Amino acid sequence: MALAIATIADSISELSVAGVKIYDIDEVPAGLDGRYPSILPLAEYVTDFTMVRDSFGGGSTAKMTVTYTLHYRLCYAPAGVGRTNTLTNFAGMIEKAYLFLDAVLAVDTMDGLIDIVPLPVTSFGVVQDPAEVPYWGCDFALQVMEFVN
């Protein structure tokens, strides 16, 4: 049995979203510098793991369908900087969020998985980067299905 979570994370980091840096799970910085919007895996990256056996056999040979949710955060721009541009930051944040969702929805095939489905976007507003610096941003949850063995 070999889950492809690292392969899928790499594939997500290679999605193309204009003007946005998407980090892989092994690239997450200690903090962001605020020069450009970033999408990065959250510390609680994998949740809602379920497995269904699709055939008989031992764990290393049985066919299985595995589903789980991967969590990402968009850090668009530092909050509290240029307060007169709050509406501009909010509009830009929404644009980048939906460009990321468009990129996920446009995937025909992605290394490591069978299907990927965006779940509702949450936390629109002020979020924190890994160094707990406040940013305009939001959180994404991507439900993944993969066949194992």
Burial (CB count <10 Å: 0-12, 13-18, 19+), residue 113 = buried
- What pLDDT shows up at residue 85? 61
- What pLDDT shows up at residue 112? 81
- What pLDDT shows up at residue 23? 97
Structural domain harbouring 27: 5-41+72-141
- What pLDDT shows up at residue 111? 83
- What pLDDT shows up at residue 89? 83
Phi first, then psi, for residue 116 (nearest 5°) are -140, 130
- What pLDDT shows up at residue 41? 97
pLDDT tens across 41-72, in order?
999 999 999 988 878 877 677 888 999 999 99
- What pLDDT shows up at residue 70? 97
Instruction: Judge whether 136 lies within some domain.
Output: yes
Instruction: Judge whether 64 lies within some domain.
Output: no
Beta bridge mates, 143: 69, 117
Quick check: helix, strand or coil at residue 83? helix
Q: What is the count of structural domains for the chain?
A: 1
pLDDT string in tens for the chain (149-residue length): 578 899 999 999 999 999 999 999 999 999 998 899 999 999 999 999 998 887 887 767 788 899 999 999 999 999 876 655 677 788 889 999 999 999 999 988 888 888 999 999 999 899 999 999 999 999 999 999 998 87
**48 Ramachandran zone, left/alpha/beta (phi>0; psi -120 to 50):** left
